[in-house]
Amino acid sequence: MAEKLESGKSQKAKIRVTGMTCTTCAATIEKGLMETPGVDKANVSFASEKAAIEYDPAKVDLGTITGAIEQLGYKAATRKSIFPVRGMTCASCVARVETALAGVPGVVSANVNLASEKATVEYLDGTEVPELQRAVREAGYELGAEAATLEDVTTAAQREIKALRNRVIFAATLAAIIMVLSMVPDFPFKPYLLWVLATPVQFWTGWRFYKGAWGALRHRTADMNTLIAVGTSAAYFYSMVAVLFPGLFATAGVELGLYFDTSSVIIALILLGRFLEARAKGQTSEAIKKLIGLKPKTATIVRDGKEMEISVDDVLVGDLVLVRPGERIPVDGILKDGFSSVDESMITGESIPVDKKAGDAVIGGTINKMGSCRFEATRVGKDTTLAQIIRLVEEAQGSKAPIQRLADVISSYFVPIVIGIAVLTFIIWYFLGPQPTLTYALLNFVAVLIIACPCALGLATPTAIIVGTGKGAENGVLIRSGEALEQAHKIDAVLLDKTGTLTRGEPRVTDIVAAPKFAESEVLKLAASVEHDSEHPLAQAIVKAASEKSLKLSQAADFNAMPGHGVEAKVDGKKLLLGNLALMKERNISLDGLGKEAERLWGEGKTVLFLGVDNKARGIIALADTLKPGAAEAVQALHKLGIEVMMITGDNSRTAAAIAGEAGVDRVLAEVLPENKATEVKRLQNEGKVVAP
């Protein structure tokens, strides 16, 4: 936590430090902090794991202080939270919100993204969220609750879009009427009618501009709202005075025109732009929505011997969770009993479901393909693997590229300069322009203010980052930050995931080998007949292959699944076995001449299933995740750019090597677990490569 001192400009901060093992560690940290410019006092306690610091915020910030602690080999305990921000309209708003957040004692860093309308705030333990919300509210904006769900944020955004739509329709309708009336010949009370019609457009639909401009004025700054409010007000109030005192602006006997249509149309068009912008912002979060969609809403747990369905948010560490075939696993855990085959492709990239037995770890968001099982929850809520992936994407979308920081700085000076130019324009036209000088001066003053709205400065880069990182996430590419996206042109090595990137992500029958006097079609027909009612992905692939060949399947009887081995059943009076080599050995079935073919297929990284008919091996069916159309061409295109292409996967080495050879990949990193992939990237970076993982 941090606090401001009563006297002087110094601030105090208490930082929890982890990693200390003795009092010498505390002394080392204390010495390092005292050597940091701007730190006046530092007292580090090993017993309480706290560093009490007094510092001058004009010379050093908390980010530098926590960085100094981490450079010494220790960890400063901070929290990083993402909050929705409402009311921002341009890059100047971003700067004000960031300044407000950074001014809260205890805030280490604040990063605000206009396109996503989110603030990523890192702060010390003990810093209260209401303090952050109060600071942002005083700046003229609203900081939402960190715990807001996607549904809450989406609902709020939809309400905002609906309100904007209604105001756009209202403003556009009245503006159109005002424009038509302005062009028709004069009739009694026409000026008063135009005034009446323009007033609700100016002060009801345009109220948000006045509110924003007032908030900026309170903080002695200006933003896009200031430009619109000043510009439209100039046209509106000039016209109002001309209606009430028509002779006041008369020049050489000619009455000047009314410009209610100018103010009304400008407000309607700006609101239309805001509406389209709000809709576009809602669409940019599709990647996050898809990731969150992987998390089930409910979980079935067993308490006191009774099954009950509860919200997944209410699952506690240690709860016994029941998962049935086809259901998504709600949280991370350890399998207690039962046997399962789990599709973990969203995490590991492994296209073939992984068999799970008691003691194995399961990951929330993955799919239980077959077999009911029970597991003990070990990580729930924000601690699950899926939640961490979602957070990574959110932080990447909320980050800033270096060029965006430059745009934010420019925009902070841009608006005051524009106002100055507009005032100068008015003066020049008023004193040097043609008659009627006031009309020309006013119109050009309004034109400069409205045309110069710095929307593009604030939206272009963050929107590009959101779309880029979002599309990357949808296609299995996690872009860690906006800076990484900007540095992409320096890449000389690309690290591709296998499943879903190079391959289709689903198994397909690639080879059928029949024993002598046995047809390949017969092998496929019998295998598909056995697997017809199975939910296993390999079984479904076999049935699909038979369907594509229009084979007529027979009814299977006495079906029996043997987890980890295969299945058995009776078809057309024959006793059939379909499974792996272990099943064949267990039933003492000789492979005869099929052994060499199996070795060849294994060498190609394929999954091999043997078909036994009446205790004799009669065929082989090989399955594999096949290369996507265009994958090899994409690798070749990267080669032409001088980029080395590598593949990283959780698959076994043989499967990975087979796919890599087919795609033309230069190097293969196989059997790499998700938690070790970052280590592999760092290793490649240490080799001097600029890597795109």
**Residues catalogued as catalytic:** 497
CA distance linking residue 206 with residue 107, whole number of Å? 35
Cα dihedral across residues 299, 302, 304, 307: positive or negative:
positive
CA distances from 52 to 2, 105, 552 (A): 9, 14, 78
Residue that has been written with the tokens 């070790």 in this structure: 676
Give the DSSP letter of residue 141.
-
The b-or-e profile of 315-348 (16+ CB within 10 A means b, else e) is beeebbbbbeeebbbbbbbebeebbbbbbbbbbb
Inter-residue contact 338 to 324 (CB < 8 Å): no
Nearest alpha carbon to residue 528 among 584, 573, 571, 561: 571
CA distance linking residue 331 with residue 361, whole number of Å? 11
Helix (H) or strand (E) holding 104: none
Inter-residue contact 258 to 264 (CB < 8 Å): no
- Identity (one letter) of the amino acid at 669? L
Collapsing DSSP to helix, strand or coil, 643 comes out as coil
CA distance linking residue 364 with residue 332, whole number of Å? 5
Collapsing DSSP to helix, strand or coil, 512 comes out as strand
Give the list of residues 6+ apart from residue 155 with CB closer than 8 angstroms, or none: none
CA distance linking residue 426 with residue 410, whole number of Å? 24
Cα dihedral across residues 657, 495, 386, 125: positive or negative:
positive
- Identity (one letter) of the amino acid at 330? P
Residue that has been written with the tokens 């309400």 in this structure: 159
CA distance linking residue 472 with residue 133, whole number of Å? 32
Inter-residue contact 123 to 134 (CB < 8 Å): no
Residue that has been written with the tokens 């739509």 in this structure: 165
Give the DSSP letter of residue 9.
S
CA distance linking residue 568 with residue 246, whole number of Å? 98
Peptide bond just before 436 cis, omega within 30 deg: yes
Helix (H) or strand (E) holding 371: none
Q: Which two tokens stand for residue 298?
A: 């409910």
Collapsing DSSP to helix, strand or coil, 361 comes out as strand
CA distance linking residue 369 with residue 534, whole number of Å? 10
Inter-residue contact 562 to 579 (CB < 8 Å): yes
Inter-residue contact 355 to 381 (CB < 8 Å): no
CA distance linking residue 172 with residue 165, whole number of Å? 10
Helix (H) or strand (E) holding 174: helix 150-183
Q: Which two tokens stand for residue 542?
A: 């076999």
End-to-end alpha-carbon separation of the chain, Å?
A: 36
Give the DSSP letter of residue 498.
I
Nearest alpha carbon to residue 425 among 450, 458, 400, 405: 450
CA distance linking residue 644 with residue 642, whole number of Å? 7
CA distance linking residue 473 with residue 436, whole number of Å? 59
